[in-house]
Structure 1
Amino acid sequence: MSEDRERSEIEAAVFRRLVEHLRARSDVQNIDLMNLAGFCRNCLSNWYQEAAEERGLALSKAESREIVYGMPYEEWKSRHQTPANAEQQADFDKNKPQH
């Protein structure tokens, strides 16, 4: 197996593990991820969509979000998303990511 292919397979396995971890940790809100790490599940799904498009594959925002969330985004929001509190929103506004 080539070094590039092996690296891609390892990176894919790491991505799958990250997605599984984020699905299992539905108690962690996207705003918390944004405030701590500068990215969230939505960012990850946007990056997935962009990578697909770079390879000539059509993938909608809804499809890429379902890949990351493991269910339709609206369903995930209704099951798991809570309103941001004032402190979370203030932190987000102060440190708003640049991407």
Structure 2
Amino acid sequence: MKDAKQNIRYLGFESIEDGARCFDFAITAAGQEATRVSLVIPALMFTGADKITFQESAKICYEKLRVLLEREKIETPVRIRLTGDDIAQFRHVPRGRQRFPKA
């Protein structure tokens, strides 16, 4: 029997220690209670030449969580700290905004 599809719902974010941001999501499936998943982006990711914007950070977290759910079922609350590799993998450059290295 196929496992029930898990759905992702964005709940919001909060600023936490040292300027990091914590993004909360609810994972739901038919007949089951929602499971809370929090993804943390360290403050360092919002600074420097290749910094991410606050606007794109929720999308990065969503994409990371979506890929995790493709691999495994999440049934207990979990907190995940994103790395630089996660940011690079799940970051999407918005249309009309090119990123060139500064000379």
- The normalised TM-score by structure 2 is 0.26
- Normalized per residue, the structure richer in strand is 2
Q: Which has the higher helix share?
A: 1
TM-score, with structure 1 as normaliser: 0.26
